[in-house]
Amino acid sequence: MRIDLHVHTWPRSQCSSIDPSRLLEEAEEIGLDGFCLTEHQVLWKSEEVEDLARGSRIKIFRGNEITTAQGDVLVFGLDDDIQGVITVRDLHERVEAAGGFSIAAHPFRGFKMFGIGQLELSVDQACKKKVLKYVDAIETGNGKVSEQENQMARQVSRRLGMAGTVGSDAHRIEELGRWVMVFERDVEDEADLVSELRAGRFTTTFGR
């Protein structure tokens, strides 16, 4: 089952230009089976998602991209309405209590922003990033960052023995499906999604 785990829509995510109503058609066209709505600090209501998905074979799942003082975190299985910036430790406690799943989103975005060679970060140093102590997985493929940044995330994932997930981080409709999770089993709802993420029953793929 092919699912894009990281998608933003307008107007819930002001940085996105994607009309939610276009997602189902685009997902069908590129061969997705589902996608996750991971707005910035906004959780869709269950009934809204049901209305959006009605009449389509495409599954829609709710998630959230939470801003913490230590970096952005994708969260699934948490219904808390979190406003403002919190610590990643506080978020971790909430996710654990809810039985959810958390992912460090694009954890090394911008680590070479001053130019190649001017700001070097070793894998050992990267492994010490605080957010990584309080998440279940690392986003090792993100459609909005460079290959160098994704490669660093993959190296850190392997070094720490942490699961690596991927997602398009789509903000424009043509970005949907750039990175896709391929689950071994059918994922029918958000409880299934969390269960399969925890079990690690997935592979990842790049390209629409």
The mean pLDDT of 2-28, rounded to a whole number, is 96
Mean pLDDT (the chain) is: 94
30 near 40, Cβ under 8 Å?
Answer: no
Torsion, Cα 79 89 198 155, to 10 degrees, reads: 130
**What is the distance between the alpha carbons of residues 58 and 47, in angstroms, rounded to a whole number?**
16
The whole-number pLDDT of residue 117 equals 47
208 domain-assigned: no
The mean pLDDT of 200-204, rounded to a whole number, is 98
CATH of the domain at 73: 3.20.20.140
7 forms beta bridges with 37, 170
Other C-beta atoms closer than 10 Å to the C-beta of 184 total 12
Residue 127's pLDDT band (boundaries 50, 70, 90)? very high
Whether the per-residue pLDDT at 114 is higher than 60: the answer is no
The whole-number pLDDT of residue 84 equals 86
The whole-number pLDDT of residue 116 equals 46
Q: What domain range includes position 60?
A: 2-199
pLDDT in tens, 186-199: 999 999 999 999 99
204 domain-assigned: no
Whether the per-residue pLDDT at 181 is higher than 80: the answer is yes
**What is the distance between the alpha carbons of residues 133 and 27, in angstroms, rounded to a whole number?**
34
51 domain-assigned: yes
205 domain-assigned: no
The mean pLDDT of 101-119, rounded to a whole number, is 75
**What is the distance between the alpha carbons of residues 85 and 28, in angstroms, rounded to a whole number?**
36
The whole-number pLDDT of residue 110 equals 81
pLDDT in tens, 142-156: 999 999 999 999 999
* Token reading at 97: 């209590």
Other C-beta atoms closer than 10 Å to the C-beta of 181 total 25
166 forms beta bridges with 141
For the chain, the residue count is: 208
Torsion, Cα 39 44 49 51, to 10 degrees, reads: -120
Number of domains in the chain: 1
**pTM strictly above 0.75:** yes
45 domain-assigned: yes
The whole-number pLDDT of residue 112 equals 57
Whether the per-residue pLDDT at 25 is higher than 80: the answer is yes
Residue 111's pLDDT band (boundaries 50, 70, 90)? confident
The whole-number pLDDT of residue 121 equals 81
161 near 148, Cβ under 8 Å?
Answer: no
Whether the per-residue pLDDT at 67 is higher than 70: the answer is yes
113 domain-assigned: yes
Complete DSSP assignment for 29-84:
HTT-SEEEE--BS----HHHHHHHHTT-S-EEEE-EEEEETTEEEEEES------S
162 domain-assigned: yes
Whether the per-residue pLDDT at 113 is higher than 70: the answer is no
